[in-house]
Structures are given as structure tokens and as C-alpha cells.
Structure 1
Amino acid sequence: MKLIHTSDWHLGHTLYNYDRTEEQQAFLQQLAEIVEREQPDALLVSGDIYHYSSPSASVQKMYTEAMLEIHRRCPSMTIVVTAGNHDSSSKLEITQSLWESFGLHVVGSIQREEETIQWSRHIIEVTGKDGRPVGYVLPVPHVYPQNFPSPDPEMKREERMPYFFQTLLDETKRINTAGLPVVLMAHLAVTGSDTTGHTDLIGGMDYFPLNQLGTGYDYLALGHIHCPQTLKGSDGRARYCGTPYPVSFDETYPHSVSLVTVEPGKQPEIQDIRIENPWPCLTLPPEPLPFEEALQQLKDFPDDKRAYIRLNVLAENYLSPDCQERASEATRGKACRYCYIKLNRLQKESNEEQPHLSIQELKQQSPLEIARRYYQETTGESMDDELSLLLQEAMNQIHSSANE
């Protein structure tokens, strides 16, 4: 079975109030071209279609037109879309029945009927161009740990997710009498994954050992973590394809979609297909310099070069109040988009408080990370695991309620 694995589109995302429609449309156009060239059996989108749970009408239209165009480029291809933590599961499923007429399956939540899990809704048969089955895709959307269904009210919270994944894989094995490839989809953070550049930060995520996702799949198409990677210890079977374009300045790695060939019992063949971004994110200068030197590099930046710019400044104390205005003025008439100053403080020999963050950098922190910083600065001690867990559970409940 040949498939394209992508995730974390974050359509509607803005970067420091700059509209990113052009970049998002450029990605969707490239994806359509890749689909037309490769003619895969399936396209898998593992969550976070949108950046906001209530995307604008124009963003939803962009998504709809792109999916129709992608389907037109390869009508025989099965498309499977799952909801991520940024998506509203209920809103994503509104047009579920309509999309199925185009071979597109949308799974926003665990499918139930009278409290009974509808396993068949999570087992999608993929057919080739000749109409014969070539494999199965098992879509699992983002679900907070406490919300996984349980067959027994007494089942512990930490047992619910492993039960769900393994039962789903067992149900698939029961009907997969031909021994076809099985691809599992999930949107979550696996313990030990590389979170480089992730704006949610470690404090904003639940992490799960890979073995909690069960056994019996030939490939695990993951979403949620933005850095593309094949997970260690997975025998090459579990992968994050990463974001197709940078969602933050710290996502400095190449962005791509994954072309995957899966055969039962064999290690998948994985090829990265690079996505070109018309508006790269640049940190200028690459190494921090005093403000006046950094500002001069910004002034010397080519007038016609398109890029998002953050100014990389080294300072011992606070910057003067007019620094933002001067940096913004330096880009007047240029094609680039100035965003903010990344302030790097000179490290003193004594172990003093954590480096101060600018307002822009503070906005990129997760609520838990901010709480940890405040706790450290006010008590002089690190927040213990029990308190961190309580805060995280409270935030998960808020996110879960907001996305229902």
C-alpha cells in the first residue's frame, strides 16, 4: 500500500499578526501536485487541520477547495482526516457524510452508538485502482486520556487508552483475513519524541509510551509533534511527518510530507518530499549580537527578499523602549516582515533567576510553563510532579470543554 502521510496543517495560523494564507495555499498546491505525480492509494492527514477550533469562513473554504482539487488529481485515492487537539471534533464532522461521497473519511471523535464503540467506523478499507483491497487504515483522533471509552467503569484512567488501541487492532486482525497492511493513525505525543521548536512546550502535552498504542500495525502515522522523525525503538514503523511549513521561528528543520510504502511484516519504505515555503522564518543575525549591530544587519537585509524576521539581540540589561519601533522602521519599504526581538541576556557567573522573556516570547509559552517559571521565581524551588500533573489535568479539562 502506497500512502502520503501529512499532519499539522494549522490552516488559519497567523505569525505575529501576519496573514499566512499565501503560504498555506502554496503548501496545498504542492500537495495536490505530489498526489497527482505519485498516485497513492491513500492520503492520511493526522490531525490539526486548522489552527483554531473556530476557523474563519475563508479558511474553511480554502480547505474545502483544496481537498476537492486533491481528490480530482487522484480520484481512486482514499483520503482519511482525523481531528487534532486544535480542531473542533464536532465541527469537523458536520460534513462527514457529504465528504464520504468523494472518498474522504473524516473522524473527529470516538464513534459511538448508544455508548457502544463503533469499531467499524475506525477501520477503513483502502482499495487500489482496480477496486481490490490493498490495506486498512485505522483513524484515531486526538482524545484526552480521561475521555477514552472504557468497557468497565472501574477501569483505571491509564488503562483506557491502551485498551482502545489494542482492541481496535485486534478487531482489524479479525477481519483482515488476507493479511493486508494495517496503518494506524494517532494524534498525540509519544515519550522520547523530539519536540524541537514546539510552541506547546513539554509542559503543555501529555506523553505516552509507544507500547500503549498496541501491537499489530505495519505503520503508525502520527501527528501532533512538529519535528519530522521516525521514532527510535519502533523498528521504523512509527513516524511523525511534521508540519508542512514552520509554525514558529524555532522550527528550523526542513518541512515535508512523507511518502510511505507499506507491506505486511516489513519495515516501511519512507521518503521525505520537501515542501517549499515562499515566506521562510529567519533569525537575524544567526548568533545574537548587541542591538545596534543586529539592527545594522536588518537594515542591510535585501529589500526584495521575502521572509519573516526576528532580531537576535544580546544584552546585559533591558533594551531601550524605542528598540521595537527602530527595528520595525528599519524594514519600512522592504519585502520582509519584521516580527519581534529575541532577547538573549548575558549569563552571569552566579546561578541567578531564569532569563527574562520579552512579551512576544512569553506569548509563545504554554500556561503550565509560565506557572512553572512563576513558581521557581517566587519559591526558589522547582514545581513538584504532583502539582504539575494537577495543573495539566485542569488545563486538559478546559481544552476538552472548549473543543466539544
Structure 2
Amino acid sequence: MRLLHTSDWHLGQTLHNFDRTHEHGCFLDWLVATLVAEEIDVLLIAGDIFDNANPSAAAHRQLYRFLQQAKARVPHLQVVVIAGNHDSPGRLEAPTPLLEAHGTIVVGNVGRTPEGGIDLDRLLVPLRGRDGAVRAWCLAVPFLRPGDVPRAVAEDDTLALDPYLNGTALLYRQAFALAQSRCAAGEAIIAMGHCHMVDGKASQDSERRIVIGGTEALPATMFDPAVAYVALGHLHLAQRVGGHEHRRYSGSPLPLSFSEVGYQHQVLRIDLDGPAVASVTPLFVPRAVELLRVPPKPAPLDEVLALLEALDLPDAPPHAQPFLEVRVLLDGPEPGLRSRIEAALAGKPVRLAKIEPTRRHAAPDNASEALTLDQLAQLQPDDIFRRLWAQRFGDEAPPDQLAAFAELTHALGGDAA
């Protein structure tokens, strides 16, 4: 049996207000062709299908069009989807009757039995071969919120357990035990999850931190060693968990911020040999639209403007033009910064998405001095403004800026502002 692991599509995402429908469409077209070419039996989508809990109609259409085309091209294909922290579990599960009729299983949340326990059956998905026989079992565990996890009880009453961390580990153990009870000889157990694992490398700008009850990262030990493969979502950089070949983040299929410019975006092909994984193969996703950082490191404005004026790019329609982040090193405020950059780019087939200014200054001598509560209470708005200006620019606030601030505070009601 052959599986394909992907996650973090973030359909509907915009990059600094630029629409990315074209890029997502290119990825989904490539993915359909890849499912055919690689003869995939099961597609695992490990959460964050959508970029937010209230996705647009266009984003929904992209997903359903993909599922329809994938099933038409690969009639035996099974699709297993779990919700991520960006998804709305209810919205994701709403079309379940229609999706299940076409081979797509969606697990948005953790259900409960009439007795109030975890409905583990909902989390266990049989994976079938082309002949219809069960070849593997999938623990389809969505992003877990505090109310989703069972209560873990310590064997020693003197020990205090982290409710979320230990509850999550207990849920995976219970689901694995159920899978083992149903697993026949030669059948593999696959686990899915959407979470941040210990030592996982996060993207600098595009990932929402998950902190629940003080717990941000979960240990890989919560997965039983007998689990053949762990398909994870949430982190956008494709990576192994703890260096383990069969515990992986597939990463996002396209860069979701400029911090991901250097990522090799991919999906992962998993070949099963009975109850074990024979191989894990990355399949690299072509980038439909380039992301440019000019210059690669912040540089003085005149140098940056010269680089922008010399930028030579091939013609492209607006939806296919590269996104550009301009990185400037400044000595102080530059009121006309954007207009000067836009003038240097005039007529070039590129979309200016972001200007990233970096201030070059020495911190003031008193930057580390802490204020007492009494001193803080005595500060006036202009005192705070002066301090922030000195902290950011390493110099005293100029008179015109102080006058403008005073006019603003007066208009807002003086000290009440």
C-alpha cells in the first residue's frame, strides 16, 4: 500500500493582502497529477486545510473541486483529513455524509460516547487496498483542545500531572490499543496528529503558537514504538521528529511567509510493506510564484534602491508576478521610504508585499534602567513617547515629532489618552 502525507494547505491565505488562489490552484492541480503518477492509495491531510475558521466560499470550492478531481482520476483513492488549529472542526465535518460517500473521511473533533467517554471508534479509520481488504489502520487524531483529552491519573498521588500533555498521551495510547485489538497480522498502524512536538523547528512568521496550560511542545514518546508511521501537521518546515525516519512533518506545500523562502516544500510518499514502512520519499512541490528578498540581508537605502532599479524580471500576468520583500537598514526615521521604493520598482512585473526596516543605532545608556511603580505612575504620555523614541532610534525625539504627538494627545483628550 502506498500513502501520501501532506498538511497545512492554508487555503484562503493572503500574503500581505495579496490573494493566493492561483498558487493554491497550481498546487492542487500538481497534487492530482502526483496521485495518479505515484499510484497513491491513501491521501493523509494532517490539518490546517484552511487558513482560518471561517474560510471563503472560494476556498471551499477549491477543496471540493480537488476532492472531486482526485476521485475521478484515482477511483480507488481514500482521503483521511483531520482538523488543525486553524480549522473550524464543525465546518470541516459539516459535509461528512457527502464526503464519506466519495471515500473521504474527515475527523474535525473528538466525539463522546453517551456515557461521556472518548469515542475512540471515530478516531480509528481502516485503510483499504485496491481489493477492498483492510491493509492498515489510521489513528486520525485532530488538533486537541483541553476539553478533548481524557483525564490522566498519576499512579503516585504525590505527583502532579500536566492535564493536557498527559491527557494527550493517554488518548493516543487508548486509540493505539483499540487499533491493536483490531489489527490482523500484516496490517500497519498509522498515527496522524496536528501539534507541536518537542524540538520541532517552527517557521518564524507564519505559525500560530499553540500553548495550552503552559504546554507548547509534546514529546515523541506519546507514540508507541509499534506505530509504523506518524503523519504530523502544524510546522511548516518538512522535518523528522527527534531524527526518527518514520515520524515526520510534511510541511506546508507553499511558502506562507518570507521566512520560508529557503524551504524545500514537499509532500511525502510512504510505502508500506505489511506492518512496517519500507520507505519514505519526499516529492518536491514546484513553486508557482517566487518570493524574493532584496537584498538577502538588510542594507543601506541607497544600496537597496540601486538593486531594485537593476532588478530584471520576465514579464508575467499580475497573478503570477513574484512577491517582493524589501529589507532596508536605516539610521533613523525615513518618512518617504515607501514612495522611494515604489518609484524604483515602477513598471517592473513584481508585487511589493513587504518593506522590512531594520534600525541601526546604539541603545541609550539608560535603556536597562527599570522604573519603580511610583515612577511609572508619574510618567506623562510625552515622557513615554520620549523614552520609546530613544529606545528605538537611539537619540532624542525631534521637536516636530514631539509637537505632533502633543497635538494628537490633546485631540484625544490629553492625559485620558
TM-score relative to the length of structure 1: 0.81
Q: What SS does structure 1 have at the residue aligned with 2:289?
A: coil
Residues 173-252 of structure 1: matches in 2 within 5 Å? 173-200=180-207, 206-234=216-244, 236-251=245-260, 252=262
Q: RMSD over aligned Cα, in angstroms?
A: 2.6
CA contact (8 A) 1:220 1:237 kept: yes
Tell me, in whole angstroms, the C-alpha distance in 2 between the residues paired with 1:3 and 1:350: 57
Q: What SS does structure 2 have at the residue aligned with 1:160?
A: helix
Residues 3-42 of structure 1: matches in 2 within 5 Å? 3-42=3-42
Tell me, in whole angstroms, the C-alpha distance in 2 between the residues paired with 1:110 and 1:7: 19
Change in Cα spacing, 1:238 to 1:211, as seen in structure 2 (3 Å) is: same
Change in Cα spacing, 1:33 to 1:353, as seen in structure 2 (3 Å) is: farther
Greater mean alpha carbon deviation, residues 299-308 or residues 29-38: 299-308
- Overall identity of the aligned pairs, in %: 29
Unaligned runs of 5+ in 1: 355-373, 378-404
Structure 1 residue ranges (4+ consecutive) displaced by more than 6 angstroms after TM superposition: 151-155, 349-354
Tell me, in whole angstroms, the C-alpha distance in 2 between the residues paired with 1:51 and 1:204: 19
Amino acid at match of 1:92: L
Tell me, in whole angstroms, the C-alpha distance in 2 between the residues paired with 1:264 and 1:17: 47
Tell me, in whole angstroms, the C-alpha distance in 1 between the residues paired with 2:220 and 2:306: 48
Residues 255-274 of structure 1: matches in 2 within 5 Å? 255-263=265-273, 266-274=276-284
Aligned residues: 354
Deviation of the 1:350 alpha carbon: 8.5
Which of 316, 330, 333 is 1:315 aligned to?
330
Residues 97-246 of structure 1: matches in 2 within 5 Å? 97-114=97-114, 115-145=116-146, 147-150=148-151, 157=163, 158-200=165-207, 206-234=216-244, 236-246=245-255
Write out per-residue CA displacement over residues 150-190 of structure 1, whole angstroms, 9 at most, x where no aligned residue.
38799861421111001100110011022411110000000
Amino acid at match of 1:256: Q
Deviation of the 1:15 alpha carbon: 0.5
Deviation of the 1:289 alpha carbon: 1.2
Greater mean alpha carbon deviation, residues 260-269 or residues 337-346: 260-269
Greater mean alpha carbon deviation, residues 2-11 or residues 170-179: 170-179
TM-score relative to the length of structure 2: 0.79
Change in Cα spacing, 1:203 to 1:168, as seen in structure 2 (3 Å) is: closer
Write out per-residue CA displacement over residues 45-94 of structure 1, whole angstroms, 9 at most, x where no aligned residue.
00000001101111111111111111112111110011000000011110
CA contact (8 A) 1:161 1:213 kept: no
Q: What SS does structure 2 have at the residue aligned with 1:165?
A: helix
Deviation of the 1:145 alpha carbon: 4.0
CA contact (8 A) 2:81 2:104 kept: yes
Within the alignment, does 1:327 sit opposite 2:327 as a pair? Answer: no
Question: Equivalent residue for 1:50?
Answer: 50
Deviation of the 1:347 alpha carbon: 6.3
Tell me, in whole angstroms, the C-alpha distance in 1 between the residues paired with 2:57 and 2:275: 44
Question: Equivalent residue for 2:288?
Answer: 278
Unaligned runs of 5+ in 2: 369-387, 392-417
Amino acid at match of 1:270: V
Deviation of the 1:241 alpha carbon: 0.3
